[in-house]
Structure 1
Amino acid sequence: MAQDVMVSMRYKSTSVIVLAIVFLMALVTVPAHACTTVIVGREATANGSVIVGHNEDNAGRRVMTQYVMPRMTYKPGDVIILKNGGTVPHVPVTWSFLWSQTPGDSAADFFVNEWGVMITSNNCAPTKEDDYDTLVARGDITDGGIGYHLRRIVAQRAETAREGLELAIELISTYGYVDDGRSYQIADSREAWFLHVVRGKHYVAQRVPDDTAVVIPNAYIIRQVDLEDTENFRACPDLVEYAIERGWYDPSCGEPFDFAKAYGSVRDDEPQDLKYDPRQWSGQRLLTGKAPDDVPLPFAARPQEKVTVADVMALLRDHYEGTYHDMSADYMISPHWANDPSICMNKTQESFVVELREDTSDLLKAVYWRATGRPCASPYIPWYIGIASVPDGYGWMDPNFGYTLRFEPHASLYDHDPSHAWWVFKDLQSAVDGQYGDVIGQVQREWRAFEERIHLEQPALEQMIHRFEATDEEYAGEFITRYTDSLAREATSIARELTDALLTAELLVEQKTVHLSGSGSISVALLGSEALDVSEISHHDVAIGPAECSPYTWAPAFNGKLVDVNGDGHEDLVMEFSIPALAKLVEIPCYMDIWLRGSTMFCDPIVARMLIEFRP
């Protein structure tokens, strides 16, 4: 017989803790940020390579897929059609490249081509520049301007980072840039550049000194510019004059021209107490071994020791642990929601470290160490530039078809599909996040052992590849493709096992389809078992929602009762959740993973998952 769940004093004490955490999360949540990049010059790395690390951070429900794009040939008269209608003439041959795509996001894709030239970017908006229509009317944006295709064209055509920089500059100067503000990072085995772009035709670029490392969050970091030093700086011809004309810089102030100060702007809703972005501060702290005290922070820092790939991975996993910027209370709250922004954050969709090498074979000149989702809970898997195809489960579309989704992806692309590695690792990070302090150590020990084994195997593996390549280059390529695929399959299998072990409860949901325009409620049964006494759980401590949304916005249970719904002799907690409260969290109607979080009266976390089809 069903009975109402009574909220006793012991439940109230748990609720007080939960409410306090929710209140703290609400206080520390700040406006959206996205992406952190670190570049280490070749004289500052342990093996003489240029190393680029990047966290791709984008809010909302996303999906990423990867491709190997082969070389392509084009006929005279073939053109690239830009988003706003302009055209760029094709070259006869475009290079092959590895491509990580976020369909529908024109500013998130990553490329590294067969020559070992890579390009990624960070949003640096807002700036002081005028809006798109004003610049079109003024002639500073022509033929609709360029945005998405800038990085793709660099990957298709550049054989060196400097050539990629010049290509990007030519495109900006010809068409004008469409977005508010962005920094592109272009690198090869010899050098790396930061290219800061403002909407229109104004830009500045600075080379990374070979013996330093540079960390960029979502802000311009190029300040003083030596326009006569063309080996280390590039800029539009009227960079300073335009700033003077617009009133952004006054030469009589006695201070040197500062690009970031002149062209950049600060979000009105950002806290003003810090004079730096804590991600740049923490990145420099980890590299140099001491907290930087200069304000503004320097463009580059000299690492205290030679930097390894593993060092950059550790930096990209940082949540400010051990510093006053860490608001997670020793992981009592997930750092992804307590520290916003942190280097590894709630919006991190992909993390990678690219090792760009000189004096090695074409198959090995770039290693793309890739982690799906947040790197603190995922492993970095090495993808060599010489692979013929991406690992199983990472790419499920032809790259030419994927290209058609760059601006308008279809809703079914966001369906939860356990055959795709994307959702396997997303499930794991969601299972971890609801009980972060309790389980992250277990997960990281698993991935640490996995990664350390790969690093130990790497020298012998690459010697073997060199031997194969000397006699049969095709076989060497096939071998390295199989090797990469085997590591990816192994990691995916481990991730599935970890997720199954970390889910603390099972759910029974009879309503498999929810209409976003509907009213009423959805009934969810939290199943009791020998291991879980649901009478120790108050529905007041339970909420459901998509993992991509902050848990303090999730739909709370508004009632609950104990009843044995599946006839196994154990009481189950049947709860009701408002459909409108849940629907407002659903960004895209699709087959979605919805997560339940709660706690027992002993503060043991409850984490479970259900799959629901959402329709308009």
Structure 2
Amino acid sequence: MNLKLKLSAMALCTAAAVLSFDALACSTIIVGKDASKTGEILVGHNEDNGGRILTAQFWVPPATHQKGEMIEYEPGKAKIPQVEKTFGFYWSQTFDPTGASFSDGFVNENGVVIVSNACTGIYDDDRQALKDGGIGYGIRRLMAERAASARDAINIAIDLLGRYGYFADGRTYTVADAKEAWQIAIHQGNTWVARRVKDNEVVYIPNNFMMDKVDATDTENVIVAPGMIERAIKNGRYTPKTPGVYNDFNYRVAVQPPERRAADYNQSRNSIAWEKILGVRITDPEKFPYSVESTKKFGVEDLKDILRSHEKEIGADPGWYHYKALGLCRPTTHESVVYQLRADPLLTAGWRTLSRPCETPYVPFYPLAKPAKDAAFLDWQTATAEHFKGKPEHFGWSADWPVWTFVHASNTFDYQRDQLKENSKFIAGLEKHWTAAQPEVERRAAELLKVSHEKAAEFLHDYNAASFFEAAAKVSAHTAKAAPHKIAILADSIDPKSTQTVDVVLYSDKTLDAAKVDLSRTYAGVGRASIGTKGLLSHLAKPVKSEVRDVDGDGLKDLVVSFEQKSLSVYTLPGAVFDLYLYTFDAAKNRVSAMDAVLIETEGYKGAQKRTEGADV
């Protein structure tokens, strides 16, 4: 790459800009052990957040803490006393420029898996007072640090909620280990219900409260917040069939207006997921089940298929494939994972995508064997300290971080949608290869466990690293073949406030005559992953002027297109090196996309506005 990419290592003095954040898109599937093809509990989850999101993986080791140590996560929220000893855990971080309280995933050393779904839009008259600002991020992080089991994680959450109260509207947390899975649906304040998922059940939940099967008399499998049912009765949102017997309590009706279930971003996913699970199309939002006792068995491949699902009308827009995408896989999906929970936590297996699951492969890994080193670009201590105050330069594109390979692939195929079918075949081949190899990997790990836990962990860690780098290398080569054309932004930086233009060169090559592209359908700007739910290319920059000339001296006429810097910078982050794309159609009406990266200026730094054309590109 060129000079401007080296700027990603520079310290830039700027405050983080506020980017769009759309968390209303996560999906979770739970399969009880008796409903599972392998006899294991399965948990599948899509994590969705709009804007400039980076997803890194860490191993946080167990630790001993000083007496009197206090924890503070979000600024202005409750300070929480630390315990003496904490467990080690795998951490999948959602790194957002303004901080992400509710998106990280965990698997701790006891095999406790933690994921969540936002459940916003509650009744205003049912909100409760908080203590010391309440708790948010601490719920998931402290469950990961402290839980000996899924049931223990529920107890930890209940204790924290009673002490501080939940400051967000609501959320449903899924916690599971090899023995059992639980969900705790939390309404703002100290209002919640925890319920154990039955062994023969399948649960699907989007971003609204779905829990309706709450038998509060079943104290072994259901725990209800003190006073919550009485408050629901007083508010007129619950009338027990038998006075004083609360075995028919409908949590979702009591705490959330029905419009949330009927909202298109929830109803669409519910219909798609339950049709895959039940084989029946449901369109009435009040008839969506919370769970079903399934006679059909589900496996890892079934959960992958569900999490990759879209609505039928996807792709009608002339721009990106995920032009609207209200299915489970959508523009904001930046991570998808399926877990197989095992009795020995080290053998708990995961399949994880590093971008949208319909466009990138599920890469196998064993979370407690520690992720590949290059799955993160910071150490876990720095990532923790900066979780709510990330420096803009950390969000810059880097050729040295393999995760960008998957993001670039997803961005490319989302525009070059005519190649999606071939891309799906490529992904299926990769996953088939890994699935075929997995039994031998696990046989070898089981043999090593008889000798030494450390040797088995080392073996599985090497497997994690090998799978990660194999996936990155193959995805990179596949994407380069699908999108071979090159552009160069002829500037070291661009000013997001400037109405002046910057030139972008699309180079001609053996298969592309750049002079013949369709300028009426040419745009430039960020990749699909950075724009949130907005789906039209018209949100991006249109050419101001253009000319045809041989820029790089190879005898072929290239296309130089000028764009307004301000328009080109929409949805970018000042202080970061941003990957910007040119989107167009060639003379044969084939979609063409290409990417280059450039620094987005801040008040503290302005680079040279022009570099030598054709040099170092």
Common topology (TM > 0.5): yes
**Worse overlay, 274-283 or 252-261:** 252-261
Alignment of 1:87-98 (within 5 A): 87-98=79-90
**Worse overlay, 285-294 or 196-205:** 285-294
- Aligned residue type for 2:115: T
Contact 1:319 1:335 in 2 (8 A): no
CA distance in 1, matches of 2:48, 2:428: 23
Contact 1:66 1:98 in 2 (8 A): yes
CA distance in 2, matches of 1:276, 1:397: 35
* Count of equivalent residues: 567
Q: Offset of 1:130 from its aligned partner?
A: 5.9
Given the alignment of the two structures, is residue 101 of structure 1 paired with residue 83 of structure 2, yes or no? no
Q: Offset of 1:304 from its aligned partner?
A: 5.4
Contact 1:554 1:585 in 2 (8 A): no
Contact 2:108 2:368 in 1 (8 A): no
Q: 1:456 to 1:88 in 2, by over 3 A?
A: same
Q: Could you list the per-position Cα deviations for residues 59-79 of structure 1 after superposition, in whole angstroms to 9, with x for gaps in the alignment?
A: 001112111111111233223
Given the alignment of the two structures, is residue 494 of structure 1 paired with residue 494 of structure 2, yes or no? no
Contact 1:539 1:575 in 2 (8 A): no
CA distance in 2, matches of 1:407, 1:275: 27
Q: Could you list the per-position Cα deviations for residues 571-590 of structure 1 after superposition, in whole angstroms to 9, with x for gaps in the alignment?
A: 22221212222233224431
Q: Offset of 1:473 from its aligned partner?
A: 2.8
RMSD value over aligned CA atoms? 2.5
Alignment of 1:495-510 (within 5 A): 495-510=475-490
Alignment match, 1:611: 597
CA distance in 2, matches of 1:264, 1:454: 43
CA distance in 2, matches of 1:271, 1:537: 45
Alignment match, 2:446: 466
Q: Could you list the per-position Cα deviations for residues 419-455 of structure 1 after superposition, in whole angstroms to 9, with x for gaps in the alignment?
A: 212211101111111112x212222222212211222
CA distance in 2, matches of 1:106, 1:515: 31
Which of residues 430, 441, 457 in structure 1 aligns to 2:437? 457
Q: Could you list the per-position Cα deviations for residues 383-407 of structure 1 after superposition, in whole angstroms to 9, with x for gaps in the alignment?
A: 21441x3214202322122110121
SS state at 1:413 partner? helix
Contact 2:216 2:249 in 1 (8 A): no
Contact 1:69 1:399 in 2 (8 A): yes
Contact 1:125 1:265 in 2 (8 A): no
SS state at 2:346 partner? coil
CA distance in 1, matches of 2:156, 2:525: 44
Contact 2:525 2:569 in 1 (8 A): no
Which of residues 342, 355, 360 in structure 2 aligns to 1:357? 342
Alignment match, 1:14: none
Alignment of 1:16-55 (within 5 A): 33-55=24-46
Q: Could you list the per-position Cα deviations for residues 174-219 of structure 1 after superposition, in whole angstroms to 9, with x for gaps in the alignment?
A: 1100111111111111221221111111111222221121111101
Contact 2:512 2:586 in 1 (8 A): no
Q: 1:533 to 1:298 in 2, by over 3 A?
A: same
SS state at 1:206 partner? strand
Q: Work out the percentage of aligned pairs sharing the same amino acid.
A: 29
Alignment match, 1:27: none
TM-score, scaled relative to structure 2:
0.87
Q: Offset of 1:224 from its aligned partner?
A: 4.3
Q: Offset of 1:41 from its aligned partner?
A: 0.6
Alignment match, 1:128: 123
Structure 2: where are the runs of 5+ without partners? 1-21, 603-617
Q: Offset of 1:53 from its aligned partner?
A: 0.5
CA distance in 1, matches of 2:425, 2:104: 30
Q: 1:585 to 1:460 in 2, by over 3 A?
A: closer
Q: Could you list the per-position Cα deviations for residues 449-503 of structure 1 after superposition, in whole angstroms to 9, with x for gaps in the alignment?
A: 2211222222222121121221233222211111111111100101111221122
Alignment match, 2:13: none
Contact 2:577 2:600 in 1 (8 A): yes
SS state at 1:363 partner? helix
- Aligned residue type for 1:108: S
SS state at 2:28 partner? strand
Alignment match, 2:386: 405
Alignment match, 2:3: none
CA distance in 1, matches of 2:282, 2:261: 20
Given the alignment of the two structures, is residue 529 of structure 1 paired with residue 509 of structure 2, yes or no? yes
- Aligned residue type for 2:496: L
Q: Could you list the per-position Cα deviations for residues 256-275 of structure 1 after superposition, in whole angstroms to 9, with x for gaps in the alignment?
A: 653222211367xx896869
Given the alignment of the two structures, is residue 113 of structure 1 paired with residue 108 of structure 2, yes or no? yes
CA distance in 2, matches of 1:38, 1:251: 29
Q: Offset of 1:97 from its aligned partner?
A: 0.8
Contact 2:365 2:467 in 1 (8 A): no
